Amino acid sequence: MEVELKEMLHDLESLKESLPDPSHRASIDKLRLRVEQLTSLEKSGPARRLKVKDMSAEVVDSNPYSRLMALQRMGIVENYERIREFSVAIVGIGGVGSVAAEMLTRCGIGRLLLYDYDKVELANMNRLFFRPEQVNMTKTDAAVQTLSDINPDVVLESYTMNITTVQGFETFVSSLKNKSFRPNKEGSGVDLVLSCVDNYEARMAVNQACNEMNQTWMESGVSEDAVSGHIQLLIPGETACFACAPPLVVASGIDERTLKREGVCAASLPTTMGYNSLKDYFPTMEMKPNPQCSNVACLERQQEYIVAKPARDAALKAKMEAEVLLVPEFALHADNEWSISVVDDSGLDSMDATSSDTLPEGLVRELPSADKSQELQTSEAPLTSNDDLEDLRRQLEALNS
Amino acid sequence: MEGWDPNTKSTLTQIPLLTTKAGPRDGAAWTQRLKEEYKSLIAYTQMNKSNDNDWFRISASNPEGTRWTGKCWYVHNLLKYEFDLQFDIPVTYPSTAPELELPQLDGKTQKMYRGGKICLTVHFKPLWAKNCPRFGIAHALCLGLAPWLAAEVPILVDSGMIKHKDDATTSTET
């Protein structure tokens, strides 16, 4: 095709030169333009770009990283190319996850791990990313197809499975622990886990895995009515884990059940804490870990964080002293008419169980916490008579037959 | 529990509560929990039978007790509609409830998530969260699945989404 078009251009050129009458030249030029357009269209077809060994900062149209490397020249990032060392796991390739995956791919992230058990449907076309011809592909495979076209430098791993089942969870954890991409990395095999799922069960499974692995992660969500969403950074032991407090919702002032349209049951959490675009309300809050958290791994991380406090303080002090040495010391203000002084707030750093119970105005809990009192304690009659698992199984089977 | 009918309430109080907070990755504690699940399911099934309200069969389909399969049925206009029932015990159990699946109804009702998982968000999840770890599989069936069937099966039948298994023959006769 390309060769043919080139010949056509050549023919047009010779035709133009051989014509004695200059009145036809304008129409020949028009034809030539059209052929040139077709040639460029043909070139931009499915041809894939080659992998790039080193990120170049050269400002040319053909360099996929020129705009990103410019950030380095402008002093925004120190060494942009380090992005190629990083691995990010994205759980849930839906409205949020697919866009996160695409942006990271365009930025040239080193490696992406993609998790989802769903298939692409036409109903997903309201969002970015997926295309109608990908219907019936698994979301992870469709994502790998598109992402590897956009940027072949990114290492993509596709995991089609449900992370809440015992088997899926084991695969999930072992894939996060796999360090073959960067064998000398500390901790797990990934730098960040992004939870982009649409249900409480999957969020709790990500929380469980990250607490056990001491893995920093981010939780996100968009409400089913698309007007609010939330985002949360979770550092095990340092900030509240997802089980430390039941999820929060922006209080609507109306009973949620009356808001729910009859017959609709979308697969999103009905508004977890976060931004409400109708009210233009975006509360932010820091949540300390709950010392009574029901998640055992969370309590272990909390303990480690407390134990490491002296070392952390020493490192911080050393850093501050180093900074002080760099800046020549002088009084910023000669007089202090209003006796303003800076107070050390480290005393506020102690764990406070009650603080996690007070919520900013406008937020309510989505799920109640478990009662300690046994209000339904009517059948406390001990059920000890039979304690053999096989026996119990047979008893149930007998009832079932 | 306000808003629940007195029958469900009284049934609920008779289902033995569980005490061990353990999930499928917790080794011996899970075995203990599994025993409690069985006791509670046995008591509930016996109670249903003696009250002439037998409406499900469920049994573990693997030795670990993490995968459960069976049947459930609902009688509407004197006709019995029966469905396959299945679910996995999630790794975060019992903090999160099992997601009960009726795969044959997948795509037939909006009150359902992908894969035939019935919607429990509003009527059941808050109760489960409040009563963790005392509620088990039997409670999920009693408070999650039973009201779902009672609300959805009549709509599915009346809208023609599901047909009774004898319907193909009876409809030609009439």
How far B172 CA sits from the closest chain A CA (Å)? Answer: 32
pTM check: above 0.90: no
Dump pLDDT digits (tens) for A22-72. 888 888 888 888 888 888 877 766 677 889 888 998 888 889 999 999 999
Going by C-alpha positions, the residue among A216, A217, A215, A201 that lies closest to residue A169 is A201
Q: Cβ distance B86 to B66 under 8 Å? A: no
Mean pLDDT of B138-167: 92
B42 and A199 within 8 Å at the Cβ level: the answer is no
pLDDT at A353: 43
List Cβ neighbours of A4 (8 Å cut-off, separation of 6 or more): none
| Higher per-residue confidence, A233 vs B173 | A233
Measured CA to CA, the distance from residue B117 to residue B126 in angstroms comes to: 17
Q: Is the pLDDT of residue A243 over 70?
A: yes
Dump pLDDT digits (tens) for A244-293. 876 665 554 444 444 343 444 544 443 344 567 777 777 788 889 999 99
- Chain A residues whose beta carbon lies within 8 Å of the beta carbon of residue B58: 400
How far A268 CA sits from the closest chain B CA (Å)? Answer: 10
- Chain A residues whose beta carbon lies within 8 Å of the beta carbon of residue B41: 396
Measured CA to CA, the distance from residue A362 to residue A279 in angstroms comes to: 11
Q: Cβ distance B38 to A389 under 8 Å? A: yes
Measured in residues, chain A has a length of 401
Q: Cβ distance A164 to B113 under 8 Å? A: no
Chain B, residues 77-136, CB within 8 A of chain A, namely 88-92, 95-96, 99, 110-114, 119, 121-122, 125-126, 129-134
Q: Is the pLDDT of residue B103 over 90?
A: yes
pLDDT at A375: 45
ipTM of the complex: 0.84
Report residue A135's pLDDT band, with 50, 70 and 90 as the boundaries: very high
Q: What percent of chain A has pLDDT over 90?
A: 49
Report residue A80's pLDDT band, with 50, 70 and 90 as the boundaries: very high
Task: Please confirm, yes or no, whether B132 is among the known catalytic residues.
Answer: no
What backbone phi and psi angles, to 5 degrees, belong to A368?
Answer: -70, 155
Dump pLDDT digits (tens) for A176-231. 999 999 999 999 999 999 999 988 899 999 999 999 999 999 999 887 777 888 88
